Structure 1
Amino acid sequence: MAGRVRVAGLAVLVACVPAALAGCSLSSAQEHSILHRHSLVIGVKGDQPGLGKIVDGHYQGFDVDVATYVARKLGVPASRITFKTTPSSVREKVLQDGAVDMVVATYSITPARKTQVTFAGPYYVAHQDTLVRTSDSSIRSVHDLAHKRICAVKGSNSWKRITEEQSIKADPVPAESYGACMPLLVDNKIDAFSTDDLILAGFAAGRSDVHIIGAPFTDEKYGIGLRKGDLAGCEAVNRILTGMYQDGSAQRFLSRWFANTGARLSASVPQFEGCS
């Protein structure tokens, strides 16, 4: 695939037709499993360069490539995928409501989120770093963010890792999405934009007015969010993700989007969290 996936039409969600004809019934978990889908609705980001972004009406990026690969291995071709823009603030809700079948949207696995979502993966381990204006040499590590204005995206844990986990007294400036952080930074309305290095690399690519400071301070385990309780689907996706690394597809996807960004890329199979 050339890095672009067309947005398919409305998904037709089909459960186990043979089972229905035979008079058997599926359990609730089986009925909602991604293993019983003729087509898939997949939540991705729409404003993150290199990961999930809409360009000329098409979704493209690393997360989109991973989602398409997983779907194909589940028996769903690109023509039967509907991608749905899914901001950080609604990722749990759209899974719980059944608006999407899975979420592949820089979705870090956390203990709190695991109480609401079943995660496959991680499919990649990123690291939180910080993006600043090139003209600003005062920020060299996360500790230099004290009393600095940082971007606080609704539904994201990145800024909380600074103010709560690191106990740094930064000044959060609210934003609806990561895409909204970039103009704030460039226009001097915030001093720093701190989140996963792959997200930052996508925004910084080809620009000279901003740069990543290169001082990572967390591990961000990107998981594929499934409806809570879909353990069979989770285990199937984990097997697919292992194959994605073994056949070289993961490295190819990463190189396609981040080879010239300066991001430190890993081609090793991440250690899976286990399905629960």
Structure 2
Amino acid sequence: MTLNPRLNAFRDDLADARLEGQVAAARFVAGRPARVTAAVAPLRRQPRADAPLDTEALHGEAVSVFEEDREGWAWVQLAADGYVGYLPTGALGQADPVPTHVVIAPRTLVFPGPDIKRPPLGDVPMGAAVRVVGEAEDHNARYALVEPAGAIVIQHLAPIGQRSPDYVAVAERFLGVPYLWGGKTASGIDCSGLVQIACAMAGIAAPRDSSVQEREVGTRLAGVEALQRGDLVFWPGHVGIMLDGERLLHANAHHMMTAIEPLAEAIARIAAKGAPVTGVRRLAVG
């Protein structure tokens, strides 16, 4: 069986020690646990700033580091979905302490203290994980105090493990977000990134690529008849989420944003480019 290099860390010169005996490499190493400390970090196909963006790693995400200081890049594997690629070394920090909460708003601001009138330190996206060490309150809001130093309004966070009851409603919050190949935040997102982050917020594990989502997420349906809210419709290299029996929500390059359109129109437009629907999947939710 040929291993997928996007999901298995191996090169001719270096490989994950867990793959010894399965792949050929000059050297095998155990991955060092680390965590993303940047708000969002690009995971690129090669260790260059102009290399293709395969996906994005979010603040607090756990990674295994196999090689560091490759001209400012680290070769890593993401713990959540197994994606392999190169992250900027400056975006990584220690694996501990472990985060306690996750961001549930599309984006939230991190203030230097419990005061919304102070200039924010920055922002973090939905799905980012933070460690809450206390709470505070002023006349404007209640805040979670997060490490290493900052405050986030408490309604934008939930304890890790708490699930959204409707992953489609999560996906709808990205309506109008610009299309970005490899993106998975409210600053830019692609079709499979939209499915993955929405599912994650509902406690549903989804692979990163649409082709793998088509094989592994939910159960296969016979066709596009009798669709319901939450069903996934697949084309070669593309996926969309049904809002109901007729309308499709998808991050797509035609609208260059996350948009809603009748499924029939999407099927006709994409078929005109030689790409028919390849599958429909229904997720087990609740």
Q: TM-score, normalised by structure 2?
A: 0.24
More relative contact order in 1 or in 2 (CA 8 Å, sep 6+)? 1
Q: Which has the higher strand share?
A: 2
- Higher Rg: 2
Decide which structure has greater helix share. Answer: 1
